[in-house]
Chain A
Amino acid sequence: MTTHAVATPVPVPVSIPVRQILPYALFVGIISLIALYFVGAEQGALAVFDGTYVHELVHDARHLLGFPCH
Protein backbone atom coordinates (compact mmCIF):
# COMPACT_ATOMS: atom_id res chain seq x y z
CA MET A 1 0.00 0.00 0.00
CA THR A 2 2.74 2.45 0.88
CA THR A 3 4.58 1.68 -2.35
CA HIS A 4 1.39 2.42 -4.20
CA ALA A 5 1.26 5.78 -2.47
CA VAL A 6 4.80 6.62 -3.46
CA ALA A 7 4.13 5.58 -7.03
CA THR A 8 1.26 8.05 -7.39
CA PRO A 9 2.89 11.25 -8.60
CA VAL A 10 -0.13 13.55 -8.35
CA PRO A 11 -2.25 13.46 -5.17
CA VAL A 12 -5.91 12.87 -5.92
CA PRO A 13 -7.81 15.84 -4.55
CA VAL A 14 -10.45 14.68 -2.09
CA SER A 15 -13.05 17.29 -1.30
CA ILE A 16 -14.05 18.02 2.27
CA PRO A 17 -17.70 17.07 2.87
CA VAL A 18 -19.93 20.14 3.01
CA ARG A 19 -21.42 18.87 6.29
CA GLN A 20 -17.97 19.13 7.83
CA ILE A 21 -17.37 22.68 6.56
CA LEU A 22 -20.77 24.14 7.42
CA PRO A 23 -20.37 24.76 11.19
CA TYR A 24 -17.04 26.52 10.59
CA ALA A 25 -18.50 28.37 7.63
CA LEU A 26 -21.30 29.77 9.77
CA PHE A 27 -19.10 30.80 12.69
CA VAL A 28 -16.06 32.14 10.83
CA GLY A 29 -18.18 33.45 7.98
CA ILE A 30 -20.25 35.64 10.28
CA ILE A 31 -17.27 36.94 12.27
CA SER A 32 -15.32 37.66 9.08
CA LEU A 33 -18.23 39.47 7.47
CA ILE A 34 -18.62 41.60 10.61
CA ALA A 35 -14.92 42.53 10.37
CA LEU A 36 -15.31 43.46 6.70
CA TYR A 37 -18.47 45.43 7.48
CA PHE A 38 -16.78 47.53 10.16
CA VAL A 39 -13.91 48.46 7.87
CA GLY A 40 -16.06 48.85 4.76
CA ALA A 41 -19.30 50.49 5.80
CA GLU A 42 -19.92 51.17 9.52
CA GLN A 43 -20.85 54.78 10.31
CA GLY A 44 -21.07 55.57 6.64
CA ALA A 45 -24.38 54.79 4.99
CA LEU A 46 -25.20 52.37 7.82
CA ALA A 47 -24.46 52.57 11.52
CA VAL A 48 -24.59 50.14 14.42
CA PHE A 49 -22.89 52.55 16.82
CA ASP A 50 -23.48 56.27 17.15
CA GLY A 51 -20.78 58.75 16.33
CA THR A 52 -18.06 58.82 13.75
CA TYR A 53 -15.13 57.17 15.52
CA VAL A 54 -15.08 53.91 13.53
CA HIS A 55 -15.53 55.82 10.28
CA GLU A 56 -12.70 58.21 11.08
CA LEU A 57 -10.39 55.46 12.34
CA VAL A 58 -10.59 53.28 9.23
CA HIS A 59 -11.24 56.24 6.90
CA ASP A 60 -8.17 55.85 4.68
CA ALA A 61 -8.41 52.07 4.47
CA ARG A 62 -12.06 52.36 3.48
CA HIS A 63 -11.25 54.79 0.66
CA LEU A 64 -8.28 52.80 -0.57
CA LEU A 65 -10.08 49.45 -0.41
CA GLY A 66 -12.62 50.89 -2.79
CA PHE A 67 -15.68 51.32 -0.55
CA PRO A 68 -17.94 54.33 -0.84
CA CYS A 69 -16.94 56.38 2.21
CA HIS A 70 -18.90 59.63 2.17
Chain B
Amino acid sequence: MPLSETGTDRAATSAALDVRSLLVWGLLAGLLGGVLAFGFAEAFGEPSVDTAISLEEQGGAAEHSHDDGAAAGHSHGEEGAEEEVVSRSFQSTGGLAIGTVVYGLGLGGLFGLAFAFAYGRLGTASPRGTAVAVLGIGYTAVVLVPFLTYPANPPAVGRGETIGERTGLFFGMVGISLVLALVAVFVGRKLAQRLDGWTAVLVAGLGYLVLVTVAAKLLPDFQEVPDGFPGATLWEFRIASLGTSAVLWAGIGIGFAALLHRGLTRAR
Protein backbone atom coordinates (compact mmCIF):
# COMPACT_ATOMS: atom_id res chain seq x y z
CA MET B 1 0.00 0.00 0.00
CA PRO B 2 2.63 2.56 0.84
CA LEU B 3 4.67 1.82 -2.23
CA SER B 4 3.00 2.22 -5.57
CA GLU B 5 6.13 1.21 -7.45
CA THR B 6 7.06 -1.89 -5.48
CA GLY B 7 9.86 -3.74 -7.14
CA THR B 8 11.60 -0.79 -8.71
CA ASP B 9 14.76 0.09 -6.84
CA ARG B 10 13.84 3.76 -6.86
CA ALA B 11 10.82 3.04 -4.72
CA ALA B 12 12.89 0.88 -2.42
CA THR B 13 15.70 3.34 -1.88
CA SER B 14 13.85 6.61 -1.93
CA ALA B 15 11.11 5.43 0.37
CA ALA B 16 8.35 6.74 -1.88
CA LEU B 17 5.29 7.62 0.13
CA ASP B 18 1.70 8.15 -0.79
CA VAL B 19 -0.49 10.63 0.97
CA ARG B 20 -3.30 8.21 1.67
CA SER B 21 -1.12 5.89 3.78
CA LEU B 22 0.28 8.88 5.62
CA LEU B 23 -3.22 10.01 6.50
CA VAL B 24 -4.25 6.56 7.68
CA TRP B 25 -1.15 6.38 9.89
CA GLY B 26 -1.86 9.90 11.10
CA LEU B 27 -5.39 8.98 12.14
CA LEU B 28 -4.25 5.76 13.85
CA ALA B 29 -1.54 7.68 15.69
CA GLY B 30 -4.16 10.31 16.57
CA LEU B 31 -6.38 7.64 18.08
CA LEU B 32 -3.44 6.35 20.12
CA GLY B 33 -2.46 9.84 21.24
CA GLY B 34 -6.06 10.67 22.15
CA VAL B 35 -6.46 7.54 24.27
CA LEU B 36 -3.13 8.13 26.05
CA ALA B 37 -4.00 11.79 26.63
CA PHE B 38 -7.34 10.70 28.10
CA GLY B 39 -5.55 8.40 30.54
CA PHE B 40 -3.13 11.14 31.57
CA ALA B 41 -5.86 13.76 31.91
CA GLU B 42 -8.09 11.41 33.90
CA ALA B 43 -5.29 10.55 36.32
CA PHE B 44 -3.50 13.89 36.67
CA GLY B 45 -5.89 16.54 35.39
CA GLU B 46 -9.24 15.65 36.90
CA PRO B 47 -8.26 16.11 40.57
CA SER B 48 -7.48 19.81 40.04
CA VAL B 49 -10.55 20.29 37.82
CA ASP B 50 -12.73 18.82 40.57
CA THR B 51 -11.10 21.03 43.20
CA ALA B 52 -11.63 24.09 41.02
CA ILE B 53 -15.28 23.21 40.42
CA SER B 54 -15.98 22.72 44.12
CA LEU B 55 -14.39 26.11 44.81
CA GLU B 56 -16.51 27.62 42.07
CA GLU B 57 -19.66 26.16 43.62
CA GLN B 58 -18.80 27.46 47.06
CA GLY B 59 -18.87 30.88 45.49
CA GLY B 60 -15.21 31.32 46.21
CA ALA B 61 -14.87 32.61 42.72
CA ALA B 62 -17.33 35.46 42.64
CA GLU B 63 -15.84 36.89 39.46
CA HIS B 64 -16.83 33.92 37.38
CA SER B 65 -20.10 34.76 35.76
CA HIS B 66 -22.75 32.17 35.08
CA ASP B 67 -25.23 34.57 33.69
CA ASP B 68 -23.86 35.91 30.49
CA GLY B 69 -24.02 34.79 26.89
CA ALA B 70 -22.90 31.32 26.05
CA ALA B 71 -22.04 30.59 29.64
CA ALA B 72 -25.67 30.86 30.68
CA GLY B 73 -26.97 27.57 31.98
CA HIS B 74 -23.41 26.38 32.32
CA SER B 75 -23.54 23.50 34.71
CA HIS B 76 -20.90 21.64 36.59
CA GLY B 77 -23.46 19.45 38.27
CA GLU B 78 -24.98 19.82 41.71
CA GLU B 79 -25.96 23.39 41.07
CA GLY B 80 -29.36 23.10 42.60
CA ALA B 81 -32.07 24.44 40.38
CA GLU B 82 -29.84 24.79 37.36
CA GLU B 83 -30.51 22.11 34.81
CA GLU B 84 -27.72 19.63 34.29
CA VAL B 85 -27.06 19.11 30.60
CA VAL B 86 -24.28 16.58 31.07
CA SER B 87 -23.75 15.01 34.49
CA ARG B 88 -20.51 15.88 36.22
CA SER B 89 -19.53 12.22 36.46
CA PHE B 90 -19.94 11.74 32.71
CA GLN B 91 -18.20 15.02 31.99
CA SER B 92 -15.08 13.84 33.80
CA THR B 93 -15.02 10.39 32.17
CA GLY B 94 -16.93 9.79 28.93
CA GLY B 95 -16.99 13.45 27.97
CA LEU B 96 -13.27 13.79 28.58
CA ALA B 97 -12.64 10.64 26.54
CA ILE B 98 -14.77 11.85 23.63
CA GLY B 99 -13.07 15.24 23.69
CA THR B 100 -9.52 13.94 23.78
CA VAL B 101 -10.08 11.20 21.19
CA VAL B 102 -11.90 13.47 18.71
CA TYR B 103 -9.18 16.06 19.20
CA GLY B 104 -6.48 13.39 18.79
CA LEU B 105 -8.04 12.16 15.52
CA GLY B 106 -8.23 15.70 14.14
CA LEU B 107 -4.68 16.47 15.15
CA GLY B 108 -3.47 13.11 13.84
CA GLY B 109 -4.92 13.85 10.41
CA LEU B 110 -3.22 17.24 10.35
CA PHE B 111 0.01 15.64 11.54
CA GLY B 112 -0.08 13.21 8.60
CA LEU B 113 -0.59 16.15 6.23
CA ALA B 114 2.19 18.19 7.83
CA PHE B 115 4.49 15.21 7.45
CA ALA B 116 3.53 14.81 3.80
CA PHE B 117 4.61 18.41 3.17
CA ALA B 118 7.72 18.18 5.35
CA TYR B 119 9.19 14.90 4.14
CA GLY B 120 12.09 15.38 1.77
CA ARG B 121 11.96 19.13 2.36
CA LEU B 122 13.87 19.22 5.65
CA GLY B 123 17.36 18.45 4.43
CA THR B 124 18.18 14.76 4.40
CA ALA B 125 16.13 13.87 7.47
CA SER B 126 15.00 10.24 7.51
CA PRO B 127 11.27 9.43 7.60
CA ARG B 128 11.29 8.99 11.39
CA GLY B 129 13.58 11.96 11.81
CA THR B 130 11.14 14.09 9.83
CA ALA B 131 8.24 12.88 11.99
CA VAL B 132 10.14 13.86 15.13
CA ALA B 133 10.98 17.26 13.61
CA VAL B 134 7.29 17.87 12.80
CA LEU B 135 6.46 16.80 16.37
CA GLY B 136 8.99 19.17 17.92
CA ILE B 137 8.17 22.17 15.74
CA GLY B 138 4.43 21.51 15.99
CA TYR B 139 4.35 21.11 19.77
CA THR B 140 6.49 24.19 20.31
CA ALA B 141 4.55 26.39 17.89
CA VAL B 142 1.00 25.18 18.51
CA VAL B 143 1.05 24.21 22.20
CA LEU B 144 4.04 25.45 24.18
CA VAL B 145 4.31 29.05 22.98
CA PRO B 146 0.54 29.77 23.05
CA PHE B 147 0.39 28.13 26.50
CA LEU B 148 3.20 30.32 27.81
CA THR B 149 1.39 33.36 26.41
CA TYR B 150 -2.13 32.47 27.52
CA PRO B 151 -1.90 29.65 30.07
CA ALA B 152 -4.74 27.16 30.41
CA ASN B 153 -7.25 28.01 33.13
CA PRO B 154 -9.23 25.66 35.35
CA PRO B 155 -12.96 26.23 35.98
CA ALA B 156 -13.53 29.31 38.20
CA VAL B 157 -10.57 31.14 36.69
CA GLY B 158 -11.35 33.62 33.94
CA ARG B 159 -14.18 36.11 33.74
CA GLY B 160 -17.19 35.34 31.57
CA GLU B 161 -17.21 38.81 30.01
CA THR B 162 -13.77 38.33 28.43
CA ILE B 163 -14.30 34.86 26.97
CA GLY B 164 -14.71 36.23 23.44
CA GLU B 165 -11.58 38.31 23.65
CA ARG B 166 -9.56 35.54 25.31
CA THR B 167 -10.66 32.98 22.73
CA GLY B 168 -9.82 35.30 19.85
CA LEU B 169 -6.40 36.15 21.24
CA PHE B 170 -5.60 32.54 22.08
CA PHE B 171 -6.33 31.37 18.54
CA GLY B 172 -4.60 34.49 17.23
CA MET B 173 -1.50 33.56 19.17
CA VAL B 174 -1.62 29.99 17.85
CA GLY B 175 -1.85 31.45 14.33
CA ILE B 176 0.99 33.95 14.82
CA SER B 177 3.23 31.32 16.37
CA LEU B 178 2.50 28.80 13.62
CA VAL B 179 3.11 31.31 10.83
CA LEU B 180 6.38 32.46 12.42
CA ALA B 181 7.47 28.84 12.84
CA LEU B 182 6.75 28.11 9.18
CA VAL B 183 8.67 31.25 8.17
CA ALA B 184 11.56 30.09 10.35
CA VAL B 185 11.54 26.70 8.61
CA PHE B 186 11.64 28.33 5.17
CA VAL B 187 14.37 30.76 6.23
CA GLY B 188 16.32 27.90 7.81
CA ARG B 189 16.17 25.93 4.56
CA LYS B 190 17.45 28.93 2.59
CA LEU B 191 20.24 29.55 5.11
CA ALA B 192 21.27 25.91 5.00
CA GLN B 193 22.29 26.45 1.38
CA ARG B 194 24.87 29.04 2.46
CA LEU B 195 25.77 28.12 6.02
CA ASP B 196 26.13 24.71 7.58
CA GLY B 197 22.97 22.99 8.77
CA TRP B 198 23.71 23.51 12.47
CA THR B 199 24.11 27.28 12.17
CA ALA B 200 21.09 27.56 9.87
CA VAL B 201 18.81 25.78 12.33
CA LEU B 202 20.21 27.81 15.23
CA VAL B 203 19.69 31.16 13.49
CA ALA B 204 16.17 30.26 12.30
CA GLY B 205 15.21 28.94 15.74
CA LEU B 206 16.53 32.01 17.51
CA GLY B 207 14.75 34.27 15.03
CA TYR B 208 11.47 32.49 15.75
CA LEU B 209 11.94 32.81 19.51
CA VAL B 210 12.72 36.53 19.37
CA LEU B 211 9.80 37.38 17.07
CA VAL B 212 7.27 35.22 18.91
CA THR B 213 8.33 36.70 22.25
CA VAL B 214 7.86 40.23 20.91
CA ALA B 215 4.41 39.26 19.57
CA ALA B 216 3.43 37.70 22.91
CA LYS B 217 4.54 40.77 24.83
CA LEU B 218 2.62 43.13 22.54
CA LEU B 219 -0.67 41.26 22.98
CA PRO B 220 -2.85 42.13 25.97
CA ASP B 221 -2.71 39.81 28.96
CA PHE B 222 -5.41 38.76 31.38
CA GLN B 223 -5.00 38.53 35.13
CA GLU B 224 -8.28 36.92 36.09
CA VAL B 225 -7.40 34.50 38.86
CA PRO B 226 -9.99 35.22 41.55
CA ASP B 227 -8.79 36.29 44.99
CA GLY B 228 -8.33 33.31 47.24
CA PHE B 229 -8.02 30.77 44.45
CA PRO B 230 -5.30 28.37 45.67
CA GLY B 231 -2.05 28.73 43.78
CA ALA B 232 -1.29 25.05 44.21
CA THR B 233 -4.50 24.07 42.40
CA LEU B 234 -3.76 26.50 39.57
CA TRP B 235 -0.21 25.15 39.21
CA GLU B 236 -1.37 21.54 39.36
CA PHE B 237 -4.01 22.20 36.72
CA ARG B 238 -1.67 24.03 34.37
CA ILE B 239 1.06 21.42 34.60
CA ALA B 240 -1.53 18.69 34.02
CA SER B 241 -2.82 20.63 31.01
CA LEU B 242 0.64 20.97 29.51
CA GLY B 243 1.25 17.30 30.25
CA THR B 244 -2.01 16.25 28.57
CA SER B 245 -0.99 18.06 25.38
CA ALA B 246 2.52 16.64 25.61
CA VAL B 247 1.21 13.09 25.92
CA LEU B 248 -1.22 13.69 23.06
CA TRP B 249 1.45 15.08 20.75
CA ALA B 250 4.10 12.55 21.73
CA GLY B 251 1.61 9.73 21.19
CA ILE B 252 0.80 11.08 17.73
CA GLY B 253 4.40 11.82 16.72
CA ILE B 254 5.98 8.64 18.00
CA GLY B 255 3.02 6.47 17.01
CA PHE B 256 3.16 7.95 13.53
CA ALA B 257 6.92 7.43 13.27
CA ALA B 258 6.55 3.80 14.32
CA LEU B 259 3.72 3.10 11.84
CA LEU B 260 5.67 4.87 9.10
CA HIS B 261 8.81 2.86 9.75
CA ARG B 262 6.86 -0.38 9.88
CA GLY B 263 5.06 0.47 6.64
CA LEU B 264 8.24 1.38 4.82
CA THR B 265 10.34 -1.55 5.94
CA ARG B 266 7.61 -4.13 5.48
CA ALA B 267 6.90 -3.01 1.93
CA ARG B 268 10.56 -3.27 1.08
Mark A residues whose CB is within 8 Å of B. Answer: 1-2, 4-5, 8, 10-16, 18, 20-21, 24-25, 28-29, 31-36, 38-41, 43-47, 51-53, 55-70
A45 to B163, CA, bound (A): 6
A51 to B126, CA, bound (A): 48
Residues of A within 8 A of B245 (CB): 65-66
Q: A-B pairs with CB below 8 Å: how many?
A: 206
> Which of A12, A41, A47 is in CB contact (< 8 Å) with B14?
A12
| Contact of B96 with A60 in the complex, beta carbons under 8 Å | yes
> Which of A5, A38, A45, A56 is in CB contact (< 8 Å) with B9?
A5
| Contact of A69 with B113 in the complex, beta carbons under 8 Å | no
Residues of A within 8 A of B75 (CB): 52, 56
A35 to B10, CA, bound (A): 37
| Contact of A57 with B241 in the complex, beta carbons under 8 Å | no
- Nearest CB to that of A45 among chain B residues? B167
| Contact of B120 with A63 in the complex, beta carbons under 8 Å | no
- Nearest CB to that of B42 among chain A residues? A60
Given A1-B9, A13-B130, A45-B163, A24 and B103 contact (CB-CB distance below 8 Å): no
Given A13-B124, A14-B16, A21-B19, A63 and B109 contact (CB-CB distance below 8 Å): no
> Which of A18, A33, A35, A66 is in CB contact (< 8 Å) with B241?
A66
Q: Please name 9 pairs of A and B residues whose Cβ atoms are closer than 8 Å in the assembled complex, sorted by A.
A: A14-B120, A24-B116, A35-B106, A36-B106, A47-B70, A52-B70, A65-B244, A66-B152, A70-B74
Residue B136 is within 8 A (CB to CB) of chain A in the complex: no
The stretch from B84-92, B193-201, B210-218, B225-233 touching chain A is B84-92
| Contact of A60 with B45 in the complex, beta carbons under 8 Å | yes
A15 to B11, CA, bound (A): 12
Looking at chain B's contact residues, the main secondary structure is helix
Residues of A within 8 A of B45 (CB): 60, 63-64
Residue B25 is within 8 A (CB to CB) of chain A in the complex: no
A28 to B126, CA, bound (A): 25
Could you tell me which residues of chain B, from 213 to 263, have a CB within 8 Å of some CB in chain A?
Answer: 237, 240-242, 244-245, 248
A52 to B74, CA, bound (A): 7
> Which of A28, A34, A67 is in CB contact (< 8 Å) with B113?
A28
| Contact of A64 with B112 in the complex, beta carbons under 8 Å | no
Closest-CB distance, B193 to chain A (whole angstroms): 16
Residues of B within 8 A of A13 (CB): 14-15, 119-120, 124-127, 130
Residues of B within 8 A of A15 (CB): 119-121
> Which of B74, B99, B109, B116 is in CB contact (< 8 Å) with A60?
B99
